[in-house]
Amino acid sequence: MLKIIKIGGGIIDDELSLKQFLQDFSQVEGPKILVHGGGRGANEQLKRMGIEPKMIEGRRITDLETLEVVTGFYAGVTNKTIVANLQVNKVNAVGISGPDGNAIRGIKRPVKTIDYGFVGDLNSESVNAEFFEMLLRNGLTPVVCAITYDENGQLLNTNADTISSTLAVALSRHFEVELIFCFDKLGVMKDVEDESSLISEIDWNSYQELKANQIVSDGMIPKLDNAFNVIKSGVKSVQIKHASHVNSDIGTRIS
């Protein structure tokens, strides 16, 4: 089974946590792909340059100056730091952004009520599945950053959750795929303050009950909606878990 594992910025921001996660990731058996976001480094660099990061509803507005900085961090410093540490852990990793090998081609998000700037959306044709299949068949582990590009060669800042989900669906035609979202909680919990309240499995019917009873709400709903869409599109399973449990069964399985 191919495992596609996405890590968020919270892990990337902490050097020790990232190193521990990459050691654990190196022990994941079989073919695997790591997808990562960018962490706080890009925002800190923007502020050092006198540019205030612009966010609307948690989404980054990416003008040209911001694009240059986030590309340098996501596809450069962050991606190569991860690849270097995986090499130390005996994983033959290769860093990938959208243009590399025509890996992931996006579409610049159209302007509706908000102009997000140079932000990419993906569709069912975005992923070059044969390219990823070739890397995996040759024993390489792709490490994919949150930068894609469009048909005009324009780089685009693209949500890492969206990239991992689109990759999972595209590659499910070539492999049995498990998609794993790693973040700083054990999984989906009835009470976010109580780790003993972890929900180990959620199917569609139980999800509707959890929403109706407002046990899951706010930021978790888009994640779960996305997980069920991915499963409906052919991905075998989706897990949401703490980064430290990437190699364990502790977490929430979406089925």
pLDDT at position 60: 86
pLDDT at position 38: 83
pLDDT at position 111: 94
Q: Work out the number of other CB atoms within 10 angstroms of the CB of residue 152.
A: 6
Cβ–Cβ < 8 Å for 156, 98? yes
pLDDT at position 164: 96
Q: What is the DSSP string of 28-78?
A: --SSEEEEE--TTHHHHHHHHTT----EETTEE-B-HHHHHHHHIIIIIII
pLDDT at position 219: 74
Partners of 3 in the β-ladder = 32, 178
Q: Where are the chain's structural domains? A: 2-254
Closest C-alpha to 245, from 155, 170, 164, 182: 182
Top-tier CATH class for 2-254 = alpha beta
CA separation, residue 76 to residues 15, 152, 176, 240 (Å):
16, 22, 31, 27
Q: Which residues of the chain have pLDDT under 70?
A: none
Cβ–Cβ < 8 Å for 236, 178? yes
Report the C-alpha gap between 182 and 239 in whole angstroms.
8
pLDDT at position 2: 98
pLDDT at position 39: 78
Q: Which residues are annotated as a binding site for substrate?
A: 38-39, 60, 157
Q: Which residues are annotated as a binding site?
A: 38-39, 60, 157
The 8-class DSSP code of residue 98 comes to T
Closest C-alpha to 255, from 243, 233, 239, 244: 239
**Predicted structure pTM score:** 0.94
pLDDT at position 183: 86
pLDDT at position 119: 97
pLDDT at position 59: 81
pLDDT at position 104: 98
E strands, the chain, in order: 2-7, 32-36, 55-56, 59-60, 93-96, 107-108, 120-121, 141-144, 147-149, 155-157, 177-183, 201-202, 237-242, 252-254
